């Protein structure tokens, strides 16, 4: 079987662990991990024309329109050697963005991490994030060795404003309406890989790697 490089996306509901699994994939397969949030922050901090537009929406607590998001992703993809592969996390968020991405680069793997809404709520309510290095802990599943402080850098851990149950459930409604239909979109293109996100991080990654190896992806 021909070994191919990953040109992929990873998506799932809030709290499913897509950022963690994306980083593990990046390390194992030597791929750049492209997080949409990081791209937005970089544009805003650099005060590029796109960044200034995105900042206006962020300041108002609104999602940037597809044309702004697509333009930022397009710019970033042009800056890397996509032939060596990549993993996109946080983008696309809907079928329209997926179609835009298809016009830029051929996606050969769409990883869908599935968890129940109640599990997503449980995970996010207990999430704590470092104010400095942005490392993430969980009060039950993965507590910091330093109470209330980051075990990696010593700075304070906080509960994010959007990690409140009412907010989480609204975000999950939006996910099911906007993002989940991408599973059908990518299944129809023969590139969907679904995994059970309700298992320990290591076991989830093992399942993911085994399925990818069967599909012929090179490490």
Residues catalogued as catalytic: 18, 93, 127, 160, 171
Distance in angstroms (rounded) separating the CA atoms of residues 146 and 142: 12
**What 3-state class would DSSP assign to 155?**
coil
Token pair belonging to 206: 């093992």
What DSSP string describes 16-85? S-HHHHHHHHHHHHT--EEEHHHHHHHHHHHT-HHHHHHHHHHHTT-PPPHHHHHHHHHHHHHHS-GGG-
Say if CB 161 and CB 61 are below 8 A apart: no
Say if CB 195 and CB 114 are below 8 A apart: yes
């Amino acid at each position: 079987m021909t070994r191919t490089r990953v040109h992929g996306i990873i998506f799932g509901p809030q709290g499913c662990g897509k950022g963690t699994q994306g980083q593990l994939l990046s390390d194992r397969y030597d791929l750049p991990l492209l997080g949409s949030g990081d791209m937005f922050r970089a544009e805003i901090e650099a005060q590029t024309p796109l960044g200034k537009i995105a900042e206006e929406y962020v300041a108002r607590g609104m999602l940037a329109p597809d044309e702004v998001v697509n333009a930022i992703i397009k710019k970033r993809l042009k800056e890397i050697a996509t032939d060596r592969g990549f993993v996109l996390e946080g983008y696309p968020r809907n079928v329209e963005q997926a179609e835009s991405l298809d016009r830029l680069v051929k996606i050969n793997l769409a990883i869908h991490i599935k968890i129940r809404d109640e599990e997503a709520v449980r995970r996010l309510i207990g999430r704590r994030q470092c104010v400095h290095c942005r490392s993430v802990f969980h009060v039950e599943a993965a507590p910091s060795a330093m109470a209330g402080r980051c075990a990696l850098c010593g700075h304070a851990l906080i509960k994010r404003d959007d990690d409140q149950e009412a907010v989480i459930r609204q975000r999950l409604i939006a996910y099911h309406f906007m993002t989940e239909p991408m599973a059908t979109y990518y299944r129809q293109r023969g590139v969907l890989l679904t995994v059970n996100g309700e298992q320990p991080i290591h076991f989830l990654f093992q399942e993911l790697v085994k399925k990818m190896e069967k599909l012929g992806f090179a490490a």
